Amino acid sequence: MPQRKTVDDLFVHMLSDIYSAEKQLTHALAKLSRAASDLTLSEAFKTHLEETQGQVERLDQVVESANIRLKRMKCVAMEGLIEEGQELIDEIEKGPVLDAGLVAAAQKVEHYEIAAYGSLCAIGRQLGFTEAMKLLKETLEEEKATDLKLTQFAERAGNAKAKQ
């Protein structure tokens, strides 16, 4: 395992990790969309898929602007979060209960991403990556907005229907 001796090394590692996470998520969001029974939720997952694809492109811009090279790695945290979502799909009948579970699983992903992008912004600022910082901050704000939408869905419809 490569050592992370400097803050620069840590930044590259964290950026490589979130890049892997976003790529994995692009595959998972289509599954979540198909598994959701609520049309609004299904469409929200499709919309987030498009947004995530844009975030991957933005990460490519970060790499270019900071003049760094990503490491080839797999984000094991995202792998685990996606696996949790798949377990729900496998174990719960399609309907409101599964939808509530999918919202919860998606929020876990969003919280992971918020933490990752928040840390990247803080370290990027220390390293003086001004352009990269703007791009990372933009993604951080998108992740927060998605989390808020999921919370609103859960409070408005998903969890109420699941109780019935």
Domains within the chain, CATH numbers bracketed: 7-163 (1.20.1260.10)
The helices-and-strands tally (H runs, E runs) of the chain is 6, 0
3-state SS, residue 58? helix
Q: Which helix (H) or strand (E) holds 20?
A: helix 7-35
Q: Please, what is the average pLDDT of the chain? A: 92
What pTM does this model have? Answer: 0.91
CB 104 within 8 A of CB 32: no
CA separation (Å) from 147 to 56, 70, 107? Answer: 18, 27, 6
Average pLDDT over residues 131-137: 95
Instruction: Kindly report, residue by residue over 37-93, the tens digit of the pLDDT.
Output: 999 999 999 999 999 999 999 999 999 999 999 999 999 999 999 999 999 999 999
Q: What pLDDT shows up at residue 158? A: 53
CA separation (Å) from 109 to 52, 84, 93, 133? Answer: 12, 10, 22, 21
